[in-house]
Amino acid sequence: MNNQSLWYLENIDVMGIFCPEKLGSGEMEHLAHKTFKKGEYIYLPDEFSDKIFFLTNGRVKIGTYSDSGKEITKSILTTGEVFGELAIVGETTRRDFALAMDDTMVCLMTVEEMKSMMREHNGLSLFLMKIMGSRVLEMEQRLESLVFKDSRTRIIEFLVSLAAKRGQRVGYEMLVRKFLTHQEIANLTATSRQTVTTVLNELRNKNILIFNRRRLLIRDMEKLSAEVV
């Protein structure tokens, strides 16, 4: 299942709700669309939390900083995903940062605008609950993996999950466009860039996958899943 399937599960056109100008529907035309250059922060920790963002184009990294200043990556979002959603449940200041990884466009709305849309579109509340619940579950799974599984297993499980969420089936193979850098995968799996490189090269030598800076092609999902010890 790719990331675009998320809102279809609730039978609601989230893109049409958040980005009416793109579709010409005229609904909620006052919502702001804003662009951010690659490497620009959308928000930072401790900033006032009063807006929710819908990613219409580009990629966004969500993360935080440890007490020692080390960057911790929590997730990397792509087109069609929502972030900053904790503002709707009472968050007053940001705990995380949001960083544009590419030239990025977002549709942003205030909490009151979001509440108004939730009243007008019944499925939107369920959609947001699903997002928040799935992210809590994902963080719990990552914590469990960090405690109980080795680096190689964490990397392979991440690749399987990435393909399931963002992959496109091409014949018997699975294609992931805009593949992450080795350092980004390392940040998401609490491993090192060198370990990621070693594991990817090993899987390529086994003819399980091929990759470059732009894409990942998994040639056999069953064989990749079987590599998990």
Domain boundaries, the chain: 5-138, 149-226
Q: What's residue 119's pLDDT?
A: 81
φ, ψ of residue 227 in degrees (nearest 5):
-75, -15
Neighbours of 39 (CB within 10 A): 10
pLDDT over 70 (residue 168): yes
Mean pLDDT rounded to a whole number for the chain: 83
Of 2-11, 117-126, 198-207, the one with minimum mean pLDDT is 2-11
**Once rounded to an integer, what is the mean pLDDT over residues 7-32?**
51
Evaluate whether 219 touches 173 at the Cβ level (below 8 Å).
Answer: yes
pTM of the full predicted structure? 0.74
Residues 226 and 36: their CA atoms lie apart, in Å, by 40
The CATH-assigned architecture of domain 149-226 is Orthogonal Bundle (1.10)
**CATH architecture of the domain covering 5-138:** Sandwich (2.60)
Quickly list DSSP for the chain.
--TTHHHHTTT--HHHHH-HHHHT--TTTTSEEEEE-TT-EEE-TTSB--EEEEEEESEEEEEEE-TT--EEEEEEEETT-EE-GGGGGT--B-SSEEEESSSEEEEEEEHHHHHHHHHH-HHHHHHHHHHHHHHHHHHHHHHHHHHHS-HHHHHHHHHHHHHHHH-EEETTEEEEESPPPHHHHHHHHT--HHHHHHHHHHHHHTTSEEE-SSEEEES-HHHHHHT--
> Where is pLDDT greater, at 222 or 90?
222
pLDDT of the residue at 15: 59
- Report the percentage of the chain scoring pLDDT > 90: 44
Label residue 18 by pLDDT band (50, 70, 90): low
Would you place residue 229 in the very low, low, confident or very high pLDDT band (cuts 50, 70, 90)? Answer: low
| Token pair listed for 140 | 């719990």
Residue 165 to residue 211: CA distance in whole angstroms: 17
- Whether the pLDDT of residue 213 is over 80: the answer is yes
Beta bridge partners of 41: 99
Determine the pLDDT at residue 16.
60
* Residue 142 CB coordination number (10 Å): 19
